[in-house]
């Protein structure tokens, strides 16, 4: 049961040179990775920004740095049983939605979105839930993800999992 974690692209709003486009360390994603690794589950990490930081494309008033959604999708190991995507900053929202849609064109592996609870530039997944579910994400993990991620992994391994309250 490989768990794949995805750090999305770095996104800059064109003309905003002081607020967006600053690369932040995905601390919340790192916490989740540490807990998953400690629990003994195989782990794969895709850093959509870091793996191609000098590659840029322009889309609707934004500069997106890093891998394309298709390149992210191609890097997901075939034995992945859960995909966790870090929703770090509101400016990245559209890039995250495009990554989800790209993944869905290739696989039905469950996708969980992890909320960034560590930064003032973060955003509430609850307020964006409709867009995530319309893009075919399966789960939203709000708040600190460490225990919830492990519970989700355990329940996905059950024959008839129930997901009330997680």
Domains of the chain listed by start with CATH number: 2-156 (3.40.50.280)
pTM of the predicted model over 0.75: yes
Per-residue pLDDT of the chain (166 residues; tens, 9 = 90+): 799 999 999 998 888 876 677 777 888 899 999 999 999 999 999 999 999 999 999 999 999 999 999 999 999 999 999 999 999 888 899 999 999 999 999 999 999 999 987 766 678 888 999 999 999 999 999 988 888 999 999 888 876 666 655 4
The Cα diameter of the chain in Å comes to 51
Distance of CA 138 to the CA centre of its chain: 12
Q: Please answer whether residues 83 and 112 qualify as being in contact, where contact means their C-beta atoms are separated by less than 8 angstroms.
A: yes
Q: Which two tokens stand for residue 2?
A: 């490989």
DSSP string for 30-86: HHHHHHHHHTT--EEEEETTGGGTT-EEEETTEEEES--HHHHHHTS-TTEEEEEEE
């Amino acid at each position: 049961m490989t768990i794949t974690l995805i750090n999305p692209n770095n996104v800059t709003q064109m003309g905003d040179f002081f607020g967006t486009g600053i690369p932040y360390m995905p601390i919340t994603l790192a916490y989740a990775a540490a807990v998953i690794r400690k629990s003994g589950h195989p782990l794969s990490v895709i850093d959509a920004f870091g793996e191609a930081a000098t590659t840029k494309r322009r889309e609707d008033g934004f500069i997106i740095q890093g891998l394309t959604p298709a390149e992210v999708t191609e890097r997901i190991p075939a034995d992945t049983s859960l995909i966790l995507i870090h929703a770090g900053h509101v400016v990245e929202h559209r890039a995250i939605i495009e990554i989800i849609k790209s993944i869905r064109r290739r696989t039905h592996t469950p996708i969980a979105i992890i909320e960034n609870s560590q930064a003032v530039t973060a955003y509430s997944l609850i307020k964006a839930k409709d867009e995530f579910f319309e893009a075919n994400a399966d789960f939203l993990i709000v708040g600190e993800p460490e225990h919830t991620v492990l519970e989700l992994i355990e329940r996905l391994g059950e024959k008839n999992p129930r997901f009330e309250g997680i």
